[in-house]
Amino acid sequence: MGRPCKPTAIKIREGKPGHRPLPKNEPKPPIMLSHEPPDWLCPIAATEWRRLAAELDAQNLLTSWDHAAFASYCEAFGKYVRLTKQIEREGRILTAPQSGYKMPHPACSLQKQAREAMVSIGSRFGLNPSARAGLDISKAGTKPEDRRSEADKDFGRRTGT
């Protein structure tokens, strides 16, 4: 499987290093009208959502179509934090009750899976150093409030803000 396509918003900020033309008919998803997390996220994931949603939206990296992917990132983050705390409490190595053999804590592999999911999904939003290394945030565009008013004009919507 090849490398995933880079979002146009990121290509614009990088200054089109390959000098290839930008896609002409790329879908333009609606902007996020609310930065409130879904009610089904765990508390840690909801805190992460609140921490990042407005910033990603301001960089044109979060739209209403990205809701599930961003929620997945936040949930992976929440799971990673919970498992890390469990491992800190119980230790990385457990002793089997009957045999006395030492074995890795089962939460260690789950923590690794959560970390991998977090890094994989997070890179799509520029949430790690290598993913944002080439980004020039001075080209990020307008403020979320301005984009909301532009969306109102374009689509005749009322945002309630």
Domain count, the chain: 1
Task: Look at residue 121 and tell me if it is in a domain.
Answer: yes
Lowest-pLDDT range, 3-7, 43-47, 86-90? 3-7
Task: Look at residue 110 and tell me if it is in a domain.
Answer: yes
Task: Look at residue 58 and tell me if it is in a domain.
Answer: yes
Task: Look at residue 1 and tell me if it is in a domain.
Answer: no
Give the mean model confidence (pLDDT) for residues 80-99. 94
Q: Among residues of the chain, what percentage have pLDDT more than 70?
A: 71
Give the mean model confidence (pLDDT) for residues 12-30. 72
The label of the residue with tokens 């879908």 reads: 27
Share the mean pLDDT of the chain.
79
| Cβ atoms < 10 Å from Cβ of 45 | 24
pLDDT the model gives residue 2 = 67
Task: Look at residue 67 and tell me if it is in a domain.
Answer: yes
For residues 75 and 43, the answer to whether their CB atoms sit within 8 Å is: no
Angle at 91 (CA atoms; ends 88, 94), nearest 5 degrees = 155
Q: What residue numbers bound the domain in which 55 lies?
A: 8-14+34-155
- 69 versus 152: the higher-pLDDT residue is 69
Q: What is the DSSP string of 95-126?
A: E-TTT--EEE-HHHHHHHHHHHHHHHHHHHTT
Task: Look at residue 144 and tell me if it is in a domain.
Answer: yes
pLDDT bracket for residue 101 (50, 70, 90): very high
Task: Look at residue 21 and tell me if it is in a domain.
Answer: no
Task: Look at residue 23 and tell me if it is in a domain.
Answer: no
